[in-house]
């Protein structure tokens, strides 16, 4: 493999990683933008989605059916958490919201260990996506190429949904002027519930998409949560476009750094976050 081929392959690998970060960060951004909650349970939704996907893929013997059911299942889990736990915390001190979501993350993590055990799990790549594709002057796994196309489509769809639909308009309005939306006779509590469910479902979707590539471990949500917060801090809290930009930057930088300085890939990411916080605290595309 030539150096140019290596660079191209690593760029595409970074694109895949970045898109997974974006899928999770969009859910975080929706929840923060709409509910003003920093959700520390979001990484646990990602891990739970991976394990539910593992179970469904084995039971149904069909990865594609599991891909449909997992975001629905994790979205319902998120709705239940919002209705029975988070709803009681609205208007309270944010530190209590953080402690609650952090505790919920630990509970979900322990449930994963009790049900599936501490040993990691994995599923095979779908048969139709095994092997590699010839992309001009380098080879690239078909499954990762599918992830680029599929996750990219989901992200574009989510942004269009928020920007162009009535429900998206309510979310945008509720983010900035919740009292005004209530005065218009719109029940924001139901919108909050739906927004939290959508955010959780996107994290679960990222989990099942990642498991054939990375496998699943009970602690997988912790590391991905940290990087997802880095993404939205760089892009801007509550900004979907910022989450996209931040995810692409982090994924590509992380992948490219493994060529020249593997041990320093995370150092560069957190250094970039620190620089953004010091120079532009609202992030590259944030307004708050």
- 149: in domain: yes
Q: pTM value? A: 0.91
Q: How many domains does the chain have?
A: 1
- 256: in domain: no
Q: Give the whole-angstrom CA distance, residue 267 versus residue 251.
A: 13
Backbone angles phi, psi at 238, to 5 degrees: 85, 0
Quick: pLDDT tens for 204-250.
Answer: 999 999 999 989 999 999 989 989 889 988 988 777 888 899 999 99
Task: Encode 138-167: b = buried (16+ Cβ within 10 Å), e = exposed.
Answer: bebbbbbbbbeeebeebbeebbeebeeeee
- 22: in domain: yes
In this prediction, residue 178 carries a pLDDT of 61
Q: Give the whole-angstrom CA distance, residue 178 versus residue 172.
A: 10
Domain that holds residue 78: 9-219
- 280: in domain: no
Q: Is 132 left (phi over 0), alpha (psi -120 to 50) or beta?
A: beta
In this prediction, residue 176 carries a pLDDT of 61
Lookup: tokens for 53: 């996907």
Q: Give the whole-angstrom CA distance, residue 58 versus residue 224.
A: 25
Quick: pLDDT tens for 133-166.
Answer: 888 878 899 999 999 999 999 999 988 888 888 8
- 56: in domain: yes
| DSSP label of 89 | G
Query: Which of the four pLDDT bands, split at 50, 70 and 90, describes residue 184?
Result: low
- 226: in domain: no
Q: In 3D, which of 62, 81, 48 has the Cα closest to residue 205?
A: 48
In this prediction, residue 261 carries a pLDDT of 81
- 261: in domain: no
- 287: in domain: no
């Amino acid at each position: 493999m030539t150096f140019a081929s290596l660079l191209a392959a690593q760029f595409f690998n970074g694109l895949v990683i970045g898109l997974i970060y974006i899928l999770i960060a969009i859910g975080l951004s929706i929840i923060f933008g709409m509910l003003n909650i920093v959700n520390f349970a979001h990484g646990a939704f990602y891990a739970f989605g991976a394990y539910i996907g593992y179970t469904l893929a084995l039971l149904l013997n069909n990865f594609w059916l599991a891909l449909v059911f997992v975001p629905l299942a994790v979205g319902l889990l998120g709705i239940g958490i919002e209705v029975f736990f988070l709803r009681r915390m609205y208007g309270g001190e944010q530190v209590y919201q953080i402690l609650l979501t952090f505790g919920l993350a630990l509970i979900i993590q322990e449930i994963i260990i009790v049900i599936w055990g501490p040993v990691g799990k994995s599923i095979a790549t779908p048969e139709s996506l095994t092997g590699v594709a010839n992309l001009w002057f380098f080879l690239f796994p078909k499954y990762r190429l599918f992830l680029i196309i599929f996750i990219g489509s989901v992200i574009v769809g989510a942004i269009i949904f928020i920007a162009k639909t009535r429900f998206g308009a309510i979310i945008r309005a509720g983010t900035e002027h919740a009292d005004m939306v209530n005065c218009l006779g719109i029940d924001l509590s139901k919108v909050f519930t739906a927004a939290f469910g959508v955010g959780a479902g996107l994290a679960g979707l990222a989990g099942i998409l990642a498991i054939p590539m990375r496998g699943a471990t009970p602690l997988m949500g912790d590391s991905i949560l940290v990087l997802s917060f880095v993404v939205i801090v760089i892009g801007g809290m509550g900004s979907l476009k910022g989450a996209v930009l931040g995810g692409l930057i982090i994924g590509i930088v992380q992948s490219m750094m493994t060529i020249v300085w593997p041990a320093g890939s995370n150092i560069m990411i957190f250094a970039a976050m620190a620089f953004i916080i010091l120079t532009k605290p609202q992030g590259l595309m944030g307004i708050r």
